[in-house]
Amino acid sequence: MTKILVTGGAGYVGSHACKALAAAGYEPVVFDNLCAGHDWAVKWGVLEVGDLLDRERINEVVAAHKPAGAIHFASLAYVGESVTDPGKYWRNNVTGAINLCDALAAAETDAIVFSSSCTVYGLTKAPFINEAEPVAPINPYGNTKRAIEIMLADYEVANGMRNTVLRYFNAAGCDADCEIGEVHDPETHLIPLAIAAATGDRECLKIFGTDYPTADGTCVRDYVHVTDLANAHVRAVGRMLDGGKSDIFNLGAGAGYSVREVIDAVGRVVGIPVDVIDDARRAGDPARLVANISHAQQSLGWQPEHSSLDNIVSTAWNWYRAHTVAAQGA
């Protein structure tokens, strides 16, 4: 079987990608330091515990497995923390990516898929963002993602290592079989927080900003199901292994929902209205971020087929119940 190195494969999007890779006949090799990932989420392929800042360890794992390609998820991803501790983000995200690329280059692995983010577009005003939109990140997390995108182009020139940059919009939802799901500590994402507020596991949900220039005054985001993201990675890997050129793809559902619309969907699916308080804007939140996904649809033959808002929220709710019950029983 063709081995694919998956850094961060014990994390939320990474573990869903491993499931999709295995279903497509690849053998994922997970490299993860378990600082945010979970060993129980590695169900497809081996887990090599290691930190990308440990050059010897990543060199050893790449040399031992000789993967045909790599998907690089491993990254710190709390926007707020990146503002207060930029060094932590630059060191971990950028130095980690350098060490990974050096290890891949030494092993002559010439294909990498990189998890980037819509955050690279900063405060864009484009109603539907395509990949040609100027990039201008507004926080250190986004700066590290952009820096790695630029760096990958340099590795291609020097080493012939082709790259596919996937810019995710808001990853959400969980595996339909509930084998894996979203578990962050701390949790900062809207949908799991809204579910916890509906069930009473949290007191109430703060809405960050109600005076944005949007239809109901709250921020609009493009929520894409994590299983759709996972499937896009499989297509990106296949394209790279077939000799595809370096490219950049936005991955979203291509539709925007406001914070209030998401909260209403959670109330509907859970069957209990979410208790909310209107709060101040959170620093660094653009009013609207919605993808134009035609490039991924045309060039990867990909469709966000699981990404209706109700399916995203239903699968997140199923996982929340399964995981909370399991955690309480433990």
Which residues are known to be catalytic?
Answer: 141
86 near ligand UD1, rule: CB under 6 A: no
Provide, rounded to whole angstroms, the least separation between the CB of residue 110 and ligand UD1: 27
Whole-angstrom distance, CA of residue 56 vs CA of residue 180:
30
**251 to 290, contacts with ligand UD1 by CB under 6 A?**
259, 282, 285-286, 289
- Contact segment (CB under 6 A) with ligand UD1 among 11-19, 53-61, 117-125, 318-326 equals 117-125
93 belongs to the binding site for ligand UD1 (CB under 6 A):
no
Q: What's the alpha-carbon Rg for the chain, to the nearest Å?
A: 19
Residue 66 region, left (φ>0) first, then alpha (ψ -120 to 50), else beta? left
Residue 27 CB, shortest distance to ligand UD1, in Å, is 28
Instruction: Round to whole Å and give the CA distance between 64 and 70.
Output: 14
Query: Taking the complex as a whole, how short is the minimal distance between the CB of residue 219 and ligand UD1, in angstroms?
Result: 3
| Cβ 109 vs Cβ 161: under 8 Å | yes
Is 114 strand, coil or helix?
A: strand
Q: How far apart are CA 193 and CA 308, in angstroms?
A: 19
Per-residue contact flags (x/-) with ligand UD1 for residues 4 to 43, judged by CB under 6 A: ----------------------------------------
| Closest CA relative to residue 112, chosen from 73, 144, 146 | 73
Nearer CB in complex with ligand UD1: 109/227: 227
* From candidates 7, 164, 170, 315, binder to ligand UD1 by CB under 6 A: 170
Terminal C-alpha separation, the chain: 36
Measured from the CB atom, is 88 or 206 closer to ligand UD1?
A: 206
Distance, in Å, from the CA atom of 207 to the CA atom of 159, rounded to the nearest integer, reads: 47
Q: In angstroms, rounded to a whole number, what is the distance separating the alpha carbons of residues 55 and 41?
A: 24
Decide: helix, strand or coil at residue 39. helix
Select from 219, 265, 269, 293 the one that contacts ligand UD1 (CB under 6 A): 219
Q: Determine phi and psi for 135, rounding to 5 degrees.
A: -100, 140
70 or 77: whose CB is closer to ligand UD1? Answer: 77
Q: Which of 119, 144, 163, 307 touches ligand UD1 (CB under 6 A)? A: 119
Q: Which two tokens stand for residue 276?
A: 């909310």
Q: How far apart are CA 129 and CA 138, in angstroms?
A: 16
231 binds ligand UD1 (CB under 6 A): no
Could you give the residue ranges of the DSSP H alpha helices within 24-95?
Answer: 55-65, 79-84, 86-89
Quote the least distance from Cβ 119 to ligand UD1, whole Å: 3
CA distance to 16, 40, 87, 256, per residue, from 34 (Å)? 16, 10, 20, 33
186 upstream amide cis, omega within 30 of 0 = yes
Find the shortest distance in angstroms from Cβ 257 to ligand UD1. Answer: 10
Piece of the chain touching ligand UD1 by CB under 6 A; list 13-21, 127-135, 188-196, 321-329: 188-196
- Interface mask toward ligand UD1 for 43-82; x: CB under 6 A: ----------------------------------x-x---
Token pair of 224 as six digits: 């894409």
Q: Which residue's CB is nearer to ligand UD1, number 166 or number 193?
A: 193
Q: Is 180 or 224 the residue whose CB approaches ligand UD1 more closely? A: 224
Exactly one of 41, 76, 129, 190 binds ligand UD1 (CB under 6 A); which one? 190
Count of positions (residues) in the chain: 330
Site residues for ligand UD1 per CB under 6 A: 77, 79, 117-119, 170, 188-190, 193, 205-208, 219, 221, 259, 282, 285-286, 289
